Chains A and B, each alone.
Chain A
Amino acid sequence: MNQLILEKYASNFRAQLGYSNTESIHLKSLLHKLGVLAVFRPLDMALSGIAIKSGDSNHFMLINTARTLGHQHFTICHELYHLFIQEGFDYQVCQVGLFDKKDKEEYNADIFASKFLIPEEGILALVPDTELKKAKVTLATILKIEQYFSCSRRALLNRLFELKLIDKIQKEEYKDNVRASAMNHGYSLKLYEKNEVSEVIGDYGNVARKLFEQDKISETHYYGLLEDIGLDFSTLRNDGDEKE
């Protein structure tokens, strides 16, 4: 699939979801909106994520939180391609960011993710005219863009290079000392760190609760289902409040 078609898919997908091409997307809210059951877990470094689709209405993804937050956001967009854009998709384990040309759909997913997460129009809106004239985006602007779109430095540099807004020398120069550059410009480091969180997004708990309330599953079964998503009821006192 060529770049222009993927650009069109990314732009259409944004429009279909009610986002313009200049705004930043809160991805966890988007997952809720799309009804994706997303499991966030810290994994060893080889995996970025997994996507599974069952029928037309059941979408699942596993996101590795032992990667930086910016990388996780890219992974979510990558998996969205597999789940909502790719035709005939069944399952996929992904190592994001490789732009692996040997695997066509993996490559397409990376390109789509890049265009969906960081749209050209949004980038141009954030780059001052003086920098556009020289085709030389400064580090301060790069930080502003990556913070706004919550993306990794690597993903943004690839995107800016592709748009000819930075050259090879700048791309090399800006890829190092990312955390230090953010601190020097007064930004939080959250985007550049692994958060190692474990959480589940989606209606899994609601469905379990509904089954329990309708007496279709026992109490033991209900708690077992919730324990499977990592909930620990021993942290609650008998009255339902957290222990101090």
Chain B
Amino acid sequence: MNQDQIIGKNLQALRKKLGFTQDQVAAYLQINREEVSYYENGSRTASTKILSHLANLYGVDEYDFYEEDLDLANVNLALAFRAENIKSTDLEQIAKFKKIVRNYLSMKSLLEHEPTHS
């Protein structure tokens, strides 16, 4: 499996786990649905910008997308909800919220560990 296929498999697994449709993800990324499909089947390389937006939406770290055996059970910032009522503008706000959550958890973990200058 090449890297694009690994990323695609993970993108699709995460999207399905969180109950999003390709249409919703496309609207959130402001691209068309076919493009989401290409990323998920590994036939197109997702840019770092796309991956960064998706990491915020799915509540995972970008490097999770590269994991060959991504353990979905450990993706604990998942959100499953009644997707039919969620608009793309809300998805953007949810992604921003998840980013705040991730920032906070990273900061707390940094406080407890050795200094690492970023």
Nearest CB of chain A from residue B14's CB, rounded to whole Å: 14
Q: How many interface residues does chain B have, given as a range? A: 20 to 34
Chain B residue numbers with a CB within 8 Å of A91 are 76-80
Hey, which bits of chain B sit against chain A, CB under 8 A?
76-82, 85-87, 89-90, 93-94, 96-101, 103-105, 107-108, 110-111, 115-118
Give bound CA distance, A221 to B116, whole Å.
12
Q: Quick check: is A118 within 8 A (CB to CB) of the other chain?
A: no
Given contacts A44-B90, A207-B108, A217-B118, contact A93 B97 (CB under 8 A): no
Extra inter-chain contacts (8) besides given A50-B97, A217-B110, CB under 8 Å: A37-B101, A37-B104, A41-B96, A43-B93, A95-B85, A207-B104, A207-B108, A217-B118
Nearest CB of chain B from residue A67's CB, rounded to whole Å: 13
Nearest CB of chain A from residue B18's CB, rounded to whole Å: 10
4 nearest A-B residue pairs (beta carbon)? A93-B81, A46-B85, A62-B97, A216-B115
Scan A25-52; emit 1 where CB is below 8 A from any B CB, else 0.
0000000000001010101101100101
Q: Quick check: is A238 within 8 A (CB to CB) of the other chain?
A: no
Q: Quick check: is A54 within 8 A (CB to CB) of the other chain?
A: yes
Q: List 22 A-B contacts (CB under 8 A).
A: A37-B101, A37-B104, A41-B96, A43-B90, A44-B87, A44-B89, A46-B85, A50-B94, A52-B77, A52-B79, A60-B97, A60-B100, A91-B77, A93-B81, A93-B94, A200-B100, A202-B104, A207-B111, A217-B110, A218-B118, A228-B96, A228-B103
Chain A residue numbers with a CB within 8 Å of B108 are 58, 207
CB of B104 within 8 A of CB of A93, answer no
Give bound CA distance, A50 to B94, whole Å.
8
Give bound CA distance, A46 to B93, whole Å.
12
